[in-house]
Amino acid sequence: MKTTFIKCSCASESLCLEKDEEDDLLYISIWERGAYRDNRYTWVQRIKHCWHVLTTGRPYGDQVILDRSARSELVHTLVDSYIIKKIENGTNT
């Protein structure tokens, strides 16, 4: 499985993209990179999070799995959003 991480601009989370070549699926998940300053985890929450990572191998609770059709829709949406943003900003390149 090929894995790519894209860090959030705020450095709090990362987007994890895992491509399963065998099943032709894309797994998208958000990984937390630490607690926010104003919203620190309690010791119980930290232990639960550690236990979750130890037992599942994954530091997240939510995940989206996209097949080829859904990936295509995501790509078109992102591209359209980028093009619309460029038009709104008055740039042509």
Query: Which value, to the nearest 10 degrees, does the dihedral of the CA atoms of residues 42, 38, 63, 30 take?
Result: -120
pLDDT of residue 63: 72
pLDDT of residue 64: 78
pLDDT of residue 77: 82
Residue 39 has pLDDT above 80, yes or no: no
Question: 6-18: per-residue pLDDT in tens?
Answer: 887 766 677 888 8
CB atoms within 10 A of CB 48: 12
Is 52 buried (19+), middle (13-18) or exposed (0-12) by CB count in 10 A?
Answer: middle
Is the Cβ–Cβ distance between 45 and 61 less than 8 Å? no
- The CA distance from 3 to 28, in Å, is 10
pLDDT of residue 7: 81
Angle at CA of residue 64, ends 81 and 43, nearest 5°: 115
Question: 68-81: per-residue pLDDT in tens?
Answer: 898 888 888 888 87
Residue ranges per domain, the chain?
2-67
